[in-house]
Amino acid sequence: MKNKTLSAWLCVLGGPLGLHRFYLFGLADLIGWALPIPTALGMYGLMRARGLGVDDHLSWLLIPLLGFVIAACSLNAIVYGLMSADKWNARFNAGASEQDTGAGSSNWLTILAVIGALMLGATALMGALAYSFQRYFEWQIELARQISQ
C-alpha cells in the first residue's frame, strides 16, 4: 500500500534525490536514479559560486538546475497531494481492496505537504529564473561595454 501523504512529503523533503520515485516505483526506476545528477550539478554550481565568486560562467549554468529540480519535485508533491483517493488507489494501489483504501485518502498532513511544496517550489523556481536572467543580462552588458571601448 502506497501512502499519498508519505509520498507527498517524500517529494518535498527528498524529491531532488529521487526518494519519492523509489517509494512509488521501486529501486528499478530510472528517473529516480537520474534525479540526483542535476541536483549534484546544481550543488556543484553553488560551491563554485561560493569559491570562485559570482562571475563564474559555469556556475551560472549549473545553479538553476538545482532550482528547477526542486520546483519539479514540488510540483509532483502538489499533484500527488491533490489527487483524489480513487485515482491514487487506481494508480498506485491497484490490488487494494475496498477496505484498504485509506492510503489514498487526504488528511491535514497531506495539505501541509502541498502548502510546503507550493512555497518551496515557487521560491526555488523564481530564484532560479531571477538568478539566470540577472547573470545573463549582466554578462550582456559587460560584452556591450567591451565592444564599445
Residue-wise pLDDT tens digits, 46-60: 899 888 877 777 888
Q: Are 70 and 116 in contact (CB under 8 A)?
A: no
Cell 538553476 -> residue: 64
Q: Are 13 and 74 in contact (CB under 8 A)?
A: no
Domain limits at 41?
Answer: 4-148
Q: How many domains does one find in the chain?
A: 1
Residues 6+ apart with CB under 8 A from 136: 60
Closest CA to 103 of 117, 111, 93: 93
pLDDT score at 88: 85
Q: What angle (nearest 5°) sits at the alpha carbon of residue 15, between those of residues 75 and 123? A: 50
Average pLDDT over residues 113-130: 94
* End-to-end C-alpha distance for the chain, whole angstroms: 67
Average pLDDT over residues 105-131: 91
Give pTM, 2 decimals: 0.83
pLDDT score at 53: 79
Predicted confidence (pLDDT) per residue in 56-78, tens digit? 778 888 888 999 999 999 999 99
